[in-house]
């Protein structure tokens, strides 16, 4: 009888737990927002005194000591952190949009994002962190992998080569899979198995709206069985995402196989409420011209992307992005 009572009220109890969790989250957000507001106000104050009264290192050091003397045991008011508050205010005070976004993140998140080169890059990571609720560690990994530069390069490249078909906006043309820790010599099944064993990091690289369905997913066409390397679903687009893994250069015949898989998924696996499936061919290398020729007459929502097994050099990507952007601007001017 007691177990029945517990079963009857379990839904009610779970609703109460949800209320408690929401309240705790809202309380944390409120406390964090006030903390960021305080750092902002202190940064504004110190910035003004430096400009108007020539405050220097010695005075800021005295200021830090004074605060810590009056609030024994309080953390966050070291000399270096007060200078960071000044930089924090001066970095964002003329950008109201970013000044609003940054209050949704912790101080440690903001310290990671603040040194970015441009407001565009800062907005990218601020928005991404808020949307995906990145932990400090997750955000750092995305920044170390130069996600901003790779995303921008993907957008520019696709403008230069071919317009992305509907549904492919969720995909980029390059991915970094350094967490797989694969040896230099490896085979395609090794990549697939390593991804399955590192799903959390893989989904972090692809986006948190992805959900894993299966590896070597079987589709039956006629009397034959075929196997898709990896199958995911995407919550944002409400569709299936098929991923094929290839070691070496992209070959045109890979696209035909992917189109076959997408047709099989849409006919036999896709639910009526879901949108058409999309495909991603992941290769270690690709020739952009070969990809453009292969994709030019294809109507299937498929994309060819490169993957690397080591973190990229951020400076090299910055230079490459600059070159691509200039090329795209020149192409627009010629039209």
Residue from 142, 199, 139 nearest 172 by CA: 142
What is the pLDDT at residue 295?
86
Same domain assignment for residues 114 and 191: no
What is the pLDDT at residue 135?
94
Same domain assignment for residues 39 and 84: yes
Whole-angstrom distance, CA of residue 325 vs CA of residue 10: 56
What is the pLDDT at residue 257?
95
CATH classification of the domain holding 155: 3.40.1350.10
Whole-angstrom distance, CA of residue 307 vs CA of residue 250: 12
What is the pLDDT at residue 327?
64
Domains identified in the chain, total number: 2
CB distance 165 to 301 below 8 Å = yes
Domain termination site, one of 122, 144, 166: 144
Q: What ranges in the chain are assigned the alpha helix state H?
A: 2-53, 57-70, 79-92, 96-101, 107-113, 119-132, 136-144, 147-161, 188-197, 199-206, 253-268, 288-295, 314-334
Same domain assignment for residues 224 and 235: yes
Same domain assignment for residues 206 and 223: yes
| Enclosing domain of residue 174 | 147-334
Whole-angstrom distance, CA of residue 108 vs CA of residue 50: 25
What is the pLDDT at residue 292?
84
Same domain assignment for residues 163 and 127: no
What is the pLDDT at residue 216?
96
Same domain assignment for residues 324 and 182: yes
What is the pLDDT at residue 166?
55
Domain termination site, one of 144, 176, 193: 144
Give every residue of the chain whose pLDDT is below 50, as ranges.
Answer: 1-2, 5, 161-163
Domain termination site, one of 144, 162, 179: 144
Supply the pTM of this predicted model. Answer: 0.77
Same domain assignment for residues 240 and 106: no
What is the pLDDT at residue 97?
96
Q: Return the structure tokens found at 233.
A: 């679903």
Unique residue bearing structure tokens 């955000």: 139
C-beta neighbour count of 92 within 10 angstroms: 22
At 71 the three-state DSSP class reads coil
Same domain assignment for residues 61 and 168: no
């Amino acid at each position: 009888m007691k177990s029945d009572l517990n079963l009857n009220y379990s839904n009610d109890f779970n609703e109460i737990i949800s209320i408690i969790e929401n309240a705790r989250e809202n309380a944390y957000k409120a406390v964090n927002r006030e903390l960021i507001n305080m750092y902002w106000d202190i940064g504004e104050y110190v910035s003004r005194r430096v400009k108007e009264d020539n405050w220097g290192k010695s005075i800021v050091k005295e200021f830090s000591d004074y605060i810590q003397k009056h609030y024994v045991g309080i953390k966050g008011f070291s000399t270096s952190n007060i200078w960071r508050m000044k930089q924090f205010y001066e970095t964002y005070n003329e950008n109201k949009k970013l000044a609003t976004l940054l209050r949704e993140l912790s101080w440690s998140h903001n310290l990671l994002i603040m040194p970015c080169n441009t407001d565009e890059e800062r907005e990218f990571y601020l928005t991404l962190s808020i949307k995906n609720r990145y932990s400090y560690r997750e955000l750092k990994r995305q920044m170390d992998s130069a996600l901003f530069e790779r995303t921008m390069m993907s957008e520019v490249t696709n403008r230069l080569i071919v317009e992305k078909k509907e549904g492919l906006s969720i995909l980029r043309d390059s991915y970094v899979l350094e967490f797989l820790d694969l040896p230099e010599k490896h085979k395609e099944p090794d990549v697939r198995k390593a991804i399955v064993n590192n799903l959390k990091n893989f989904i972090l690289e692809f986006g948190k709206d992805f959900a894993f369905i299966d590896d070597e997913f079987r589709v039956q066409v006629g009397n034959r069985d075929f196997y898709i390397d990896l199958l995911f679903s995407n919550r944002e687009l409400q569709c299936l995402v098929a991923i094929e893994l290839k070691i070496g250069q992209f070959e045109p015949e890979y696209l035909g196989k992917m189109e076959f898989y997408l047709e099989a998924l849409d006919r036999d696996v896709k639910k009526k409420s879901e949108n058409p499936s999309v495909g991603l061919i992941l290769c270690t290398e690709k020739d952009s011209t070969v990809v453009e020729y292969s994709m030019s007459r294809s109507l299937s929502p498929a994309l060819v992307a490169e993957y690397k097994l080591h973190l990229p050099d951020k400076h090299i990507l910055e230079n490459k992005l600059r070159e691509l952007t200039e090329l795209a601007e020149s192409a627009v001017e010629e039209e």
